[in-house]
């Protein structure tokens, strides 16, 4: 078995049904909408939940990821791998700024937003949970960075885009 094969094997994780995940996520969102006073609060709570999810994922897989990001822009490949392992698909595109301090991840087929269309909550970041997961990875790996969502299919954008930015 080559290096690639052994890496794939070590990151093999049990899968959960996509409809089950999407239905659970939808109900989480309904609950947040009902218990929050505005869209910013919903977005913030989603990111906090995502951070916790990211902590769990990182605890589980940290020892099995052999090549951790050392330089900030290397999160492009680390997070691509994490996204692929957990969602079963890759980002449509990844953009890295010339100074390597900003990385944008885009998915035109975001599995969280699939089939979701929300028109009455402008500014909602439906899949901001992903930003929280990214934030956990950055923070727990010791980087002073910020993670946020720039566009979201669920509210009418063409794609979902999550950005990470090095702050110092
Ligand atoms: Zn999305």
Predicted local confidence at residue 10, as pLDDT: 53
Classify 9 as helix, strand or coil: helix
Ligand 1 centroid, distance to 113 Cα (angstroms) = 4
Any domain includes 42: yes
Specify the pTM.
0.89
Ligand 1 centroid, distance to 1 Cα (angstroms) = 36
Any domain includes 86: yes
pLDDT tens column, 140-158: 989 999 999 999 999 999 9
Any domain includes 6: no
Domain count, the chain: 1
127 φ/ψ sector (left φ>0, alpha ψ -120 to 50, else beta): alpha
pLDDT tens column, 45-101: 999 999 999 999 888 776 666 666 689 999 999 899 889 888 889 999 999 999 999
User: What CA–CA distance (Å, rounded) separates 139 from 112?
Assistant: 23
Predicted local confidence at residue 33, as pLDDT: 96
Length of the chain: 168
Q: Which domain holds residue 83?
A: 16-166
In contact, 147 and 135? CB cutoff 8 Å: yes
Predicted local confidence at residue 19, as pLDDT: 93
Any domain includes 10: no
The whole-angstrom distance between residue 121's C-alpha and the CA centroid of its chain comes to 21
Ligand 1 centroid, distance to 159 Cα (angstroms) = 7
Provide the CATH number for the domain around residue 152.
3.30.1380.20
Predicted local confidence at residue 1, as pLDDT: 40
pLDDT tens column, 98-124: 999 999 999 999 999 999 999 999 999
Running DSSP on this structure, what letter comes out for residue 123? T
**At residue 102, what are phi and psi to the nearest 5 degrees?**
-130, 135
Residue of 32, 28, 54 lying closest to 41 (CA atoms): 32
Q: Is the pLDDT of residue 12 over 70?
A: no
Any domain includes 62: yes
């Amino acid at each position: 078995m080559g290096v690639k094969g052994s890496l794939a094997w070590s990151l093999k994780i049990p899968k959960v049904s996509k409809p089950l995940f999407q239905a659970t996520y939808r109900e989480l969102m309904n609950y947040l909408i009902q218990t929050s006073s505005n869209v910013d609060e919903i977005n913030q709570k989603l990111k906090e939940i995502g951070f916790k999810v990211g902590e769990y994922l990182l605890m589980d897989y940290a020892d099995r990821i052999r090549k951790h990001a050392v330089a900030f822009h290397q999160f492009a490949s680390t997070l691509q791998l994490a996204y692929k392992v957990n969602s079963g698909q890759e980002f449509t595109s990844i953009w890295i700024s010339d100074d390597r301090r900003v990385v944008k991840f885009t998915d035109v087929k975001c599995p969280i937003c699939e089939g979701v269309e929300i028109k009455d909550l402008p500014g909602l970041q439906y899949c901001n949970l992903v930003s929280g997961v990214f934030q956990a990875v950055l923070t727990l790996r010791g980087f002073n960075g910020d993670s946020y969502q720039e566009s979201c299919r669920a509210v009418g954008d063409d794609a979902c885009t999550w950005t990470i930015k090095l702050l110092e």
